[in-house]
Amino acid sequence: MCYKVKVKASIEDLQKRYDAVFEQKLEELHEHEEASGFGHPHLPVITSENNSKIQLMEWGLVPGWVKDEKAAAEMQNVTLNARSETLFDKPSFRSILKKRCLILINGFYETQHNGKHTIPFFIHLKNSALFALGGLYDEWVNTNTGEIFRGFSIITVPANPLMAHIHNTKKRMPLILPQQNEKDWVKPDISEQQIKSFITQYPEADMQAEEIKKQSDTLSLWE
């Protein structure tokens, strides 16, 4: 699964890398060394509704049919990720056909289980400081306040060999989109078949994982 990410980039770096204009005010972009989905942070995304702008959106999707605030809060915690195998079947993720997004990050964290011990890793790409995860989003209207809530889910796929070694219980990884596919993912009018063609494992040869140890230790690299 994917529940923690790193997002540390300036607005200028984000705009240059993704050829898009930042929508929010400068002070609204916060850097995250380790952002947890369960804290529902606002992260930079590009959506299929407005693919020329970078905007901030909360992690955790709430479908439009959710009835009240209590149900919305519960829904957010179970929609941090969306499994690719059931993505087109679950009512929570019906928005995939029209509302897709890029989640703009530097890397993500996963934990390896070794008996009673756990070993955290930071995973990133070898040749790019920033990259995009494939996701979907939706809108929910709070009937008590009239506020429109917009949240996203990160799509996950079966792990490639590197990630299967690290995430050795669930053996999952987030959907990493190659740079050449990013703009196509957020085109508003692509078909279900085209969407499915983008949902693949990212090659392990282009990824690097760093074991996170105590500050006094050096990092162990898996390539």
Query: pLDDT value at position 27?
Result: 62
Query: pLDDT value at position 222?
Result: 42
pTM, entire model = 0.93
Residues 175-210 pLDDT 10s: 999 999 999 999 999 999 999 999 999 999 999 999
Is 7 within 8 Å of 13 (Cβ atoms)?
no
Q: Which residues have a catalytic role annotated? A: 2, 110
- Ranking 80-94, 130-144, 178-192, 202-216 by mean pLDDT, the lowest is 202-216
b/e burial code for range 156-186 (CB count within 10 A of at least 16 → b): bbebbebbeebbeeeebbbbbbbeebbeebb
Query: pLDDT value at position 219?
Result: 47
Computed over its alpha carbons, how large is the radius of gyration of the chain? 17
Residue 38: half-sphere exposure toward Cβ, Cα within 13 Å:
2
- Return the SS3 of 161: helix
pLDDT at residue 110 above 60? yes
Task: Calculate the CA 179 to chain-centre distance.
Answer: 15
pLDDT at residue 131 above 50? yes
Token pair recorded at residue 207:
């990824």
Query: pLDDT value at position 175?
Result: 98
Residue 191 phi/psi, 5° resolution? -85, 170
Query: pLDDT value at position 28?
Result: 74
Percent of the chain with pLDDT over 70: 94
Q: What is the CATH number of the domain that holds 71?
A: 3.90.1680.10
Pairing of strands 148-158, 131-141: antiparallel
Query: pLDDT value at position 204?
Result: 96
Domain range enclosing 97: 4-222
- What single DSSP character describes residue 97? G
* Number of domains comprising the chain: 1
